[in-house]
Amino acid sequence: GDSVTQMEGPVTLSEEAFLTINCTYTATGYPSLFWYVQYPGEGLQLLLKATKADDKGSNKGFEATYRKETTSFHLEKGSVQVSDSAVYFCALFNAGGTSYGKLTFGQGTILTVHP
């Protein structure tokens, strides 16, 4: 079945540092890929998405490129802020999956940014 693997956390950075959170996936066909962010005490918010190979999703300074050859969708930001502290989830949607609309999530990566 489909699966998503994220880098182990937690990740702790100083403000203005460069961020990379690795995400790799296993899926048949051509899934859509997403990054969701969960701020403390809140639900998940869609951060960015990519629907086909070589697409780059971007939002709020975050970027991720859909790499089919390496089955990866790594999240990057050039300069993190304290307000970026949250849990980040990589997820995929496979239209050919057994449960329509099902998002397959990674385990989440906790990011803490210090001033």
Partner 1 sequence: NAGVTQTPKFQVLKTGQSMTLQCAQDMNHEYMSWYRQDPGMGLRLIHYSVGAGITDQGEVPNGYNVSRSTTEDFPLRLLSAAPSQTSVYFCASMRLSSSYEQYFGPGTRLTVT
Say how far apart CA 68 and CA 25 lie, in whole Å: 10
* Site for partner 1 contains 43 (CB under 8 A): yes
Say how far apart CA 71 and CA 46 lie, in whole Å: 20
* Site for partner 1 contains 28 (CB under 8 A): no
* Site for partner 1 contains 99 (CB under 8 A): yes
* Site for partner 1 contains 54 (CB under 8 A): no
* Site for partner 1 contains 108 (CB under 8 A): yes
Residue 78: CB minimum distance to partner 1, A: 25
* Site for partner 1 contains 53 (CB under 8 A): no
* Site for partner 1 contains 11 (CB under 8 A): no
Q: What are phi and psi for residue 109, nearest 5 degrees?
A: -125, 120
Q: Which stretch binds partner 1 (CB under 8 A): 13-21, 67-75, 77-85, 103-111?
A: 103-111
Cβ neighbours of 105 (radius 10 Å): 16
Torsion sign across C-alpha atoms 41, 105, 102, 53:
positive
- Answer for the pair 47, 39: CB distance below 8 angstroms, yes or no: no
Cβ neighbours of 25 (radius 10 Å): 22
* Residues near partner 1 (CB under 8 A): 4, 32, 34, 36, 41-46, 49, 51, 89, 91, 93, 95, 99-103, 105-108
